[in-house]
Amino acid sequence: MFRQSIFLLALFVTACGGQESADLILTGGTIAIVDEAFTTYETLVVRDGKVLAVGDASLKGRYTADRTVELDGRLVVPGFNDTHTHLSGNARRYIDLAGVESISEIQDLVRAKIAEIGEGEWITGYGWSEDELVEQRRPLRYDLDEAAPRNPVILTRAGGHSGVGNSLALELSDVTQNTPQPEGGVIEYYEDGELNGVIRETHGMIGAGLIPEASEEELHETHIQVLRDQLALGITSVVQAGVSPRGFERWERIYEEVGDELPRANVQIRWSGADRMRDFGRITGDGDERLRVGAIKVFVDGGFTGPAAYTIEPYRGETEYRGILERPEEELRTIVKQGHDMGWQLGFHAIGDAAIEIAVNAFVDAIESNPKDDHRYYLNHFTVPPPVRTLDLMAEHGIAIVQQPNFTYTLEGRYAANLDGHRLTNNNPVKTPMDHGIFMALSSDILPINPLVGLYAAVTRKGMSGEVYGPDEAITIEEAIRGYTANGAWITFEEGIKGTLEPGMLADMVVLSDDLLAIEPDDIIDVEIDMTILGGSVLYERN
């Protein structure tokens, strides 16, 4: 039997001209494997879901593959790793407002949804931004009343830190002119003292306990589709920025059902108290190559779109208002110490410079009181540059940043309206923390979910208007690609299996329509995703 097997193998090798078998070959372009030297090759070979070999054009002659992709000069990079995003299923009553260009368009979408589900039903939606509307203002209460006089409506701004309700929604929610300002939030008014419908940070009080819950079937199906949609953006790995311990079960069901068809996921768990975290029974890193438990998620301050980020100095034009600290500092320190001592990774939301200082000090105290090797704690967002002493502490104690350079582009109008001086020009710093020795990964955080916008903003530092903010914060395209690939894998302790295209790594990669390493920086934002490959399988291909 042994001799027969050797004979059959010899016949196979002869028939193939001495070639080895493979599953996929990409050749004829620039393949950036994003190793330490940022080496590029012309040909890459995949077998059994992993990179088998990289080399020049002669390499393809050594293998026979089920499929060969001729790149025709295009660029291949590791799959984008969006290390801070929000992906969930949506109810039938929900309206996607991403990309809307006017208040009248929002009104039309509300009317269309009412026609679909009927009068009297709650309407919800997400994704509008005043900076993208021709009116250059927010939709307000009476705008929604015009479109929906008999349906309660609550529409959340892109970023998720404020929302606007119509009159019926406010009435049903018992929000009136006499409602006290909520702790941690702001109820807004017109100049005449009437409610304008906008509530910052605590906009969930509109419809609280009143909006019927979506069925599990609705959420399950749409959640799967939202995850599939990431592939068209070149995203092969995501970090979901916070679900409850119970909410993680929904992710498990999805990945048990169709996980091979979706981006790999790390899911941050929102802090729910020490007892509930212990009862959860899992900890950072538990899972497999498809789905893992991520870091603990805690909000230190509010978001910027309000604005409600907690800053050292008052906002531009304000004498006292500095944003919102989500919880007392001592409570935050208790959470950090408990999470640290339990062995969790910590990945906290901190946008304002004051919030960053508070979070870093809490991290440092926990690390020094109970040293832990390779903790990889990090802060998400890091919008307002903190003092140098805070940067020094972060570098000394290995506290990383998950930054969103696309915010400089998308939130330009909010920054210009509320920040000044160094806080404005150097918003969302990238180069300065890196120069301090702070580890930096890049992500999108749904404003918008699109790594190419992030790459463009990281390299050009341009806002939507074309104005450049803090050119000294710009990084090279090679650094930006690394931030969206290899560095994201490091944040989730997975740099040994993904994030680069070195032999032996998971074959997660993206074929881009143009070579980012050769084109002008201003053209990056127009590049398209031609193909997304995950574990050697082509899961998305542009027509």
> Per residue in 195-237, pLDDT tens?
999 999 899 999 999 999 888 888 999 999 999 999 999 999 9
Which residue, among 505, 509, 504, 502, has the nearest Cα to 533 in the 3D structure?
509
| Residues 347, 359 contacting (CB under 8 angstroms) | no
Our CA angle for 431, 305, 220, nearest 5°, is 100
Q: From CA 382, how far away is CA 196, in angstroms rounded? A: 30
Q: Where in the chain is the domain with CATH 3.10.310.70?
A: 91-205
Backbone angles phi, psi at 534, to 5 degrees: -130, 120
DSSP 463: -
Angle in degrees, CA 357, 361, 362, rounded to 5: 120
Question: At 304, which amino acid appears?
Answer: F
The rounded distance, in Å, linking the Cα atoms of 496 and 57 is 27
According to DSSP, residue 121 is labeled -
pLDDT under 70: residue ranges of the chain: 1-17
| CB 46, CB 536: distance < 8 Å | yes
**What residue type is 286 in one-letter code?**
D
**Which pLDDT value is given to residue 446?**
82
Place of tokens 């705008």: 143
Q: Strand pairing partners for 521?
A: none
**Fold (topology level) of 91-205:** Diaminopimelate Epimerase; Chain A, domain 1 (3.10.310)
Domain 298-475, what fold?
TIM Barrel (3.20.20)
Q: 329-342 and 353-369 are packed helices; what angle lies between their axes, rounded to 10 degrees?
A: 40
Three-state SS sequence of 93-105: CEEECCCCCCHHH
Query: Given the structure tokens 């390299």, which residue do they identify?
Result: 459
Cβ neighbours of residue 90 under 8 Å, at least 6 residues apart?
Answer: 96, 214, 218, 219, 222, 226
According to DSSP, residue 523 is labeled: G
pTM comes to 0.87
User: So what's the pLDDT on residue 11?
Assistant: 36
Q: DSSP label at 113?
A: H
What is the pLDDT at residue 17? 56
Tokens of 375: 């903790």
For residues 373 and 260, give the distance between their C-alpha atoms in angstroms, rounded to a whole number. Answer: 33
Q: How do strand 75-78 and strand 20-32 relate by DSSP bridges?
A: parallel
CATH 3.20.20.140 in the chain, residue ranges: 298-475
For residues 142 and 192, give the distance between their C-alpha atoms in angstroms, rounded to a whole number: 14
User: Which two tokens mark 482?
Assistant: 């690394």
Q: Residue 356: how many CB atoms within 10 A of its CB? A: 31
DSSP state of 213: P
User: Based on the number of CB atoms within 10 Å of its own CB, is 327 exposed (0-12), middle (13-18) or buried (19 or more)?
Assistant: middle
- With tokens 């620039």, the residue in question is 30
